[in-house]
Amino acid sequence: MADVEMAEDKQLSALMAFRNELLSHEGSVSMFRAQHQDLLTSGASEALAEASPELSAKRRFSRPQLITLWSIGVLILIAALFSFRGVLVGLNAVFILYGLALCLFRLSLVANIIREARPRRIRNTEPLSDDALPVITVLCPLYKEEESLPNLLGALDRLDYPREKLDIKIVLEADDEITRKAAAKACKPGKYDVVIVPEGQPKTKPKACNFALWSARGDYIVIYDAEDRPARDQLRRAAEAFAVLPPTVACLQARLNYYNREASWLTRIFAAEYAYIFDILLPGLTSLGAPLPLGGTSNIFRTEALLAIGGWDPHNVTEDADIGMRLAAKGYTSRMLDTTTLEEATNGLGAWFRQRTRWIKGYMQSWAVHSRYLPKSPAHALTLPLVIGGVIVASLFNPIFWVLYIVWLSGIVDLDWLFPAPLGALATIGFLAGNLILLWLYMLAPMRRRWHDLVPYALTSPAYWVLQMAAGYRAAWQFITSPHYWEKTEHGAGLAHEEIAERDLEAST
Amino acid sequence: MSLTTMQQRSFWQWPETQGFAIVLAMAGALALTGFENWTAHVFHDRLMLLESETGFAPGMDLTLWFGRLLASLPGTSEAAGLSIATAMAVPIIGLTSFLTAPKRPGRLVRSLLLCTHPLTLALVLGGAGWAVIGLYVLWRALAVLPRRRPHQGMAGSGLAIAFAWLAVPGFSAFLLPLGATLWLCAPRHMQKRFMLSYYLALFAPVAMLAGANAYAAWAFGLEWVETPLTAPMTSGLPVAILFSLCATILSGPGLMRITSMSGTATRLAALVASAFAATATGADPLAAAAMAAAAQYALAARRGEPSMLSVLSFAGGAAVVIGLGAL
């Protein structure tokens, strides 16, 4: 343990020293970065794992977790030797109770909508003059996305923020020749800082962001993906909000949704799902004071807080959800910012499937990481099992329960012993209410944006959930075989701002 | 609303006062629709009869459900459980009225008035206190629906309809008239194109509840309980009436959009036509009239100052026309 702490001090101290030196450096940033490439590379990959191994997904499970899991497994086996049926009934009861808790949580979200719960809304913000605005670093990690680059730069140009107060970093991988060439043409030196991340494992977006993190000049840092079209005033509003918020608020998460939702059935349900997550679920968690599993982009961080927690976890494939939990673990909070970034939803089934696999695998990593310590509050304890765990359980265990339930009802096999009173009634309530409430939430969520055309499609969301279950099993397999493998989501060139429907842009502000 | 405007209003011009009157009117309509039964049996005899008629099932009467729940406690007889469940309705009516009203002066007085009104007490003693709560909650939700943000208004109203279905005995009969007139409460921008979405989101909870009820009855071998979803199937509802109902719902918003015809007369005609189509399905004219009044209230509230006179004229007009039609 002492060795680990020494390593932590060394690595982070060196990175901090590098940043302090960089801030006072007057020459070329890229040259300065090149001089310290080894430090930045190892820091991007290993700083967190060395500083706080218990908060890193580098290891799937910690030793105490493995001991606990094995102990539970052995105890269940021993109990099964005495009463096999009793053990199955017990496990069934645990999942049924979990399902009921999920129902109650979803009902609380409905209640939140009705009572317009905004106790943690950011109030008393005042417009800041251009001079008073802070410098913001914009990280744009791209990989084989040369087609998207022009539209991304267009979206950044449209931001209502003084250009001299933006430190835009286009973060590219060393082996991505095509995008590097495109960036060399499109990104004028001085206006954009093109950061080349050296080759090495793990090859993930958080690692690329970590590499660029330590050369950030901004007081705040935001990530935009290649297909992002943020609301024009997003950064200005974030700066104004941060000006009145306490320093413990480390992150503001903008709402995300899709501008191409009318492309197909898949994109429509995807948009309804995102509306549920970013317009109902996350605001609901905010009102409870619970940590937020953040979205992948458009989250604006206080740089100091981000550096203090060691940046993103390069081994976690949903570094966004993880960092929200990790901020909470270190005593910081996150809030929602009422502004939207429109993105391009994956339209093809294959691309969606790969993306969803990565997300669920990342949630598995996050669940494993954040169950290694005691939660800071009841609300903190709520997020992990019900929000992050909910996705995993819904993907992996729902199919089992559906099959069991259908078999039980059909009477093909006598399963009455598995549902003794009152488990049968509770299972019925949990099974029906849990799914139906979620379905209704998928109907209500798009209405907030006046996307009423999506409401009838929400009725078909159970088919979408079946797809998610398939992705869940693939994710479980990858969690065992290749936990750190990042499946890149393919996107097209995306739409330019001018091509996005006016009503969608209106809905984003 | 400025203070000056507030001071200029008379007692009956307050939306809450009007709402109070409408709730009483709706409750009265409900009482009148079952007049014979209501007078023949009082207090728990009436409830016991209701129970024997319907069988114990969710979705029929919350008073029975609470009564049974309390009776399961040690030392509480069935009659005592029912008595307590019935009496519980009074403070809950007051509390609901108090909590669901906006923070305006006089809400405490109004809540007390609502609780102590003879008609409320008569309904409570008749075992239908929860019906008053159901109707009150429904009225509150629908009255603010046009003015709230769509997802908030729809969530509240959807739950209110489901709750009313649970709390009001015989509410199934209200559902069709309610559906037929509910487009009047739609948020303005939804009226143009999104009636399907509006109705889906609004009726989803009650449909889910009814579906779950029917499903549970089938899965656990309980006695079949009629639900709003199954009623048309089991009663052999003529297809023509369903068509007329759909046509009304679809054409109603169109009528509303014609500016040159947006006067009270046209609205009255649209509303009566809707209610008439719905009433032809067998629902009671008075129930439909009460719903019409509520819908008109919501409409008037959205367009400006709600007028008690217009609400009453709607209710009266609808009742007369529907009554004539029924004859």
β-strands A220-223, A299-302 pairing: antiparallel
pLDDT confidence of residue B297: 53
Burial class (CB in 10 A: 0-12, 13-18, 19+), B264: middle
Give dist(CA A365, CA A342) in Å, integer.
Answer: 27
Q: How far is B18 from chain A (nearest CA, A)?
A: 23
Residues of B in contact with A433 (CB under 8 A): 212
Give dist(CA A443, CA A273) in Å, integer.
Answer: 9
What does DSSP assign to residue A495?
A: -
Say yes or no for a CB contact (<8 Å) between A455 and B219.
Answer: no
Strand partners, A254: A337
Which of A107, A404, A452, A453 is the best substitution to test chain B (most B C-beta atoms within 10 A)?
A452
Phi, psi of A258 (to 5 degrees): -120, 140
DSSP A292-352: P---SS-EEEEHHHHHHTTS--TT-TTHHHHHHHHHHHTT-EEEEEEEEEEE----SHHHH
Which of A406, A426, A438, A443 is the best substitution to test chain B (most B C-beta atoms within 10 A)?
A443
pLDDT confidence of residue A148: 85
CB A268 within 8 A of CB A258: no
Residues 6+ apart with CB under 8 A from A56: A48, A49, A313, A315, A316, A369
Residue A64: C-alpha distances to residues A71, A238, A371 (Å): 10, 40, 11
B154, B205, B208: residue with CB nearest A447: B154
Give dist(CA B268, CA B314) in Å, integer.
Answer: 7
Total-model pTM: 0.80
A409, A433, A444: residue with CB nearest B151: A444
pLDDT confidence of residue A14: 82
Closest-approach residue (CA) in chain A for B204: A440
Reading the block at residue B101, the tokens are: 């009203």
Amino acid letter, residue B256: M
CB B195 within 8 A of CB B152: no
Closest-approach residue (CA) in chain B for A437: B205
Q: How far is A461 from chain B (nearest CA, A)?
A: 14
Coil, helix or strand at residue A40: helix
Q: How far is A502 from chain B (nearest CA, A)?
A: 16
A409, A448, A454: residue with CB nearest B149: A448
Phi, psi of A255 (to 5 degrees): -75, 150
Coil, helix or strand at residue A487: coil
Length of chain B: 327
Residues of B in contact with A453 (CB under 8 A): 194, 197
DSSP B47-98: HHHHHHHH-S-TTT-HHHHHHHHHHTSTT--HHHHHHHHHHHHHHHHHHHHH
B152, B194, B204: residue with CB nearest A113: B152
Strand partners, A167: A137
Give dist(CA A470, CA A325) in Å, integer.
Answer: 26
Nearest to B285 by CA among B252, B238, B317: B317
β-strands A166-173, A192-197 pairing: parallel
pLDDT confidence of residue A202: 86
Give dist(CA B204, CA B201) in Å, integer.
Answer: 5
Q: Is residue B282 left, alpha or beta, with left meaning phi > 0 and alpha meaning psi from -120 to 50?
A: left
Per-10-residue mean pLDDT for chain B, 327 residues long? 40 49 55 42 45 42 74 79 77 75 67 70 70 79 80 90 79 68 74 79 86 68 49 46 52 46 52 54 52 55 50 54 49
Give dist(CA B120, CA B138) in Å, integer.
Answer: 16
Residue A473: C-alpha distances to residues A209, A365, A386, A488, B65 (Å): 29, 14, 19, 19, 43
pLDDT confidence of residue B46: 47
Amino acid letter, residue B281: T
Give dist(CA A228, CA A42) in Å, integer.
Answer: 29
Closest-approach residue (CA) in chain A for B197: A455
A409, A448, A455: residue with CB nearest B197: A455
Interface of A with B (CB under 8 A): 110, 113-114, 116, 279, 409, 424-425, 428, 432-433, 436, 439-440, 443-445, 447-448, 450, 452-456, 459
Which of B99, B144, B151 is the best substitution to test chain A (most A C-beta atoms within 10 A)?
B151
Give dist(CA A87, CA A405) in Å, integer.
Answer: 18
Lookup result for tokens 């669901």? B100
Closest-approach residue (CA) in chain B for A456: B197
Residue A489's CB: how many other CB atoms inside 10 A? Answer: 18
Give dist(CA A153, CA A192) in Å, integer.
Answer: 10
Sheet holding A333-343, edge to edge: A192-197, A166-173, A136-142, A220-223, A299-302, A249-258, A333-343, A229-230
Distance of CA A344 to the CA centre of its chain: 16
pLDDT confidence of residue A136: 94
pLDDT confidence of residue B227: 45
Strand partners, A334: A251
Give dist(CA B272, CA B314) in Å, integer.
Answer: 8
Distance of CA A235 to the CA centre of its chain: 20
Say yes or no for a CB contact (<8 Å) between B193 and A452.
Answer: yes
Give dist(CA A64, CA B239) in Å, integer.
Answer: 66
The predicted-structure confidence for B262-305, as pLDDT tens digits, reads as follows 455 555 555 555 555 555 544 455 555 555 555 555 555 445 54
Direct distance between the N- and C-terminal alpha carbons of chain A, in angstroms, rounded to an integer: 49
Amino acid letter, residue B14: W
Nearest to A421 by CA among A180, A81, A89: A89
pLDDT confidence of residue B311: 53
Lookup result for tokens 């993906």? A225
ipTM for the complex? 0.82
Residue B247's CB: how many other CB atoms inside 10 A? Answer: 13
Q: What mean pLDDT is reported for chain A? A: 85
Give dist(CA B85, CA B317) in Å, integer.
Answer: 37
Residues of A in contact with B152 (CB under 8 A): 113-114, 116
Per-10-residue mean pLDDT for chain A, 509 residues long? 44 81 75 79 82 86 90 93 89 88 87 65 76 93 87 90 92 89 85 87 89 89 91 92 92 91 90 92 88 91 90 91 91 90 88 92 93 86 87 86 76 79 78 87 91 91 90 92 81 65 54
Which is it for the CA torsion A409, A415, A417, A419, positive or negative?
negative
Say yes or no for a CB contact (<8 Å) between B150 and A459.
Answer: no
